[in-house]
Amino acid sequence: MKIVDATLEQDVTFANEMEKVRADFPVLKLEVNGKPLIYLDSAASSQMPQPVIDRLVYYQTSQHANVHRGVHYLSETATSEYEGARQKVQHFVNAREDREIIFTSGTTDAINLVMHGYGRKFIKADDEIILTTLEHHSNIVPWQMLAQETGAKIRVVPVNDAGELLVDEYEKFFNQRTKFVGLIHVSNALGTINPVKKMIALAHMHGVPVLVDGAQAAPHMKIDVQDLDCDFYVFSAHKLCGPTGVGMLYGKASLLESMQPFKGGGEMIATVTFEKTTYNTIPHKFEAGTPPIAAAIGFGAAIDYLLTIGIDEIHAYEMELLHYATELINELSGVHVIGTAASKTSVLSFVVDGIHPHDIGTLLNQEGIAVRTGHHCAQPLMQRFKIPATSRASFAFYNNRSEVEAFIAGIYSVQKFFSR
């Protein structure tokens, strides 16, 4: 029994440690409809802790000017902070060089950059692009646009009933016309963690480059682009406690250099005459115009913040919350979890017999509980499970067990409400 006690004690200490981080998030003091806010929609966008807010305020009050332009004090400060943020991102994903990190406006922008810069240059009629059923619309629509333009074809890796990719099927897709793979690291709708390292290795056996959409992975687990050996990796800052309006594209330097620019304008050029323009080197070739300087610096501050807590600690605590929530929700009759992969992040997507997700969302909101309801920008995946929509609770490291309990009680009371 001593062993059990020791484990319990450890769990409690760990939970207490994580409880302290709640004080860093001013939004958690908010009341919604007279109830304390229970924010379970971090997979859509996470909340911002005070140190990141403070960093943004400090930048705007004492460091702001345009970057890479002037020789004056503020411009030099802004430039060095902006480039410093790039290095923070570089180390966060373990890229070889900082020039392999492009600041974009977010995940969607980064994927569009690769579609235009790489896809339009190297993908031709009858070539094949492999995507998966789990993709977010942002990693479907750009490739469909490319396919329409070039006559290339899209092949879609199926999933099983648990929401796991059928890697054997994926392997069979490869042939000499296969030119690109777009792969979501973690499903936003179901939480499935895909075996991306293995899938990248399979693609590379056929000489095919792989883009990994890490929007839902980067906030929850260590990302090592060298270990994965991915060709492109993309995610947004606002899902990891940073500001909206900024995200990153990691690309292998040789690939980025071979690509055509996406947007034209200032900053991305070396020389301009009306006869001919030569382009700047990477990463600047892909950062036309004034970049989101403040947001990029806030992105760096968010990474610093997450690292002070520890990515492994965040992951372990979120898994505890997920397991607790899964255990409790499985006790409710008439509630079905969609997405039961063996390897998942802290996302709980579910449907309730006879009650539409929108009604659940509205009634939970009445209790101050924020969940996402809808198709989660993954309509093909909803079609696969023959449902129009789900409700989704996503747990972050700033949630706790009592919030999980309130959420489960909330679903139960919605069921009661509709059965009266």
Partner 1 sequence: MNAKSLYQEVILDHNRKPRNYGSLNNANHHAIGHNPLCGDRLDVSLSLEDGHIDNIAFQGESCAICKASASMMTAAVKGKSRGDAEILIHEFRDMATGKLDLDNPHHLGRLTVFSGIQELPTRVKCAILPWHTLHAALNSVTSASTEAESDPIHLSAGNG
CB of 299 to partner 1, least distance (A): 18
Spatial distance between the Cα atoms of 122 and 259, rounded to a whole number of angstroms: 9
By C-beta, is 208 or 248 nearer to partner 1?
Answer: 248
- List all residues 6 or more positions away from 315 whose beta carbon is below 8 Å from its beta carbon: 220, 221
By C-beta, is 87 or 379 nearer to partner 1?
Answer: 379
Q: Residue 64 has what DSSP assignment?
A: -
> Burial code of 264-301, b = ≥16 C-beta within 10 A, e = fewer?
eeebbbeeeeeeeeebbebbbbbbbeebbbbbbbbbbb
CB of 179 to partner 1, least distance (A): 29
* Contact footprint for partner 1 (CB under 8 A): 33, 44-45, 188, 355-359, 362-363, 365-366, 372-377, 379, 382, 388-389, 417-418, 420
Which of 32, 319, 377, 382 is the catalytic position? 377
By C-beta, is 73 or 417 nearer to partner 1?
Answer: 417
Spatial distance between the Cα atoms of 245 and 236, rounded to a whole number of angstroms: 8
CB of 207 to partner 1, least distance (A): 34
> Burial code of 329-358, b = ≥16 C-beta within 10 A, e = fewer?
beeeeebebbbbbeebbbbbbbbbeebebe
Spatial distance between the Cα atoms of 322 and 307, rounded to a whole number of angstroms: 21
- Provide the token pair at 309: 């807590």
By C-beta, is 88 or 376 nearer to partner 1?
Answer: 376
CB of 44 to partner 1, least distance (A): 4
Based on the residue annotation, tell me whether 377 is a catalytic residue of this protein.
yes
Do residues 87 and 98 touch, judged by C-beta distance below 8 A?
Answer: yes
By C-beta, is 102 or 189 nearer to partner 1?
Answer: 189
CB of 347 to partner 1, least distance (A): 13
Through-space distance between the first and last CA atoms of the chain, rounded to whole angstroms:
46
Residues belonging to the active site: 377
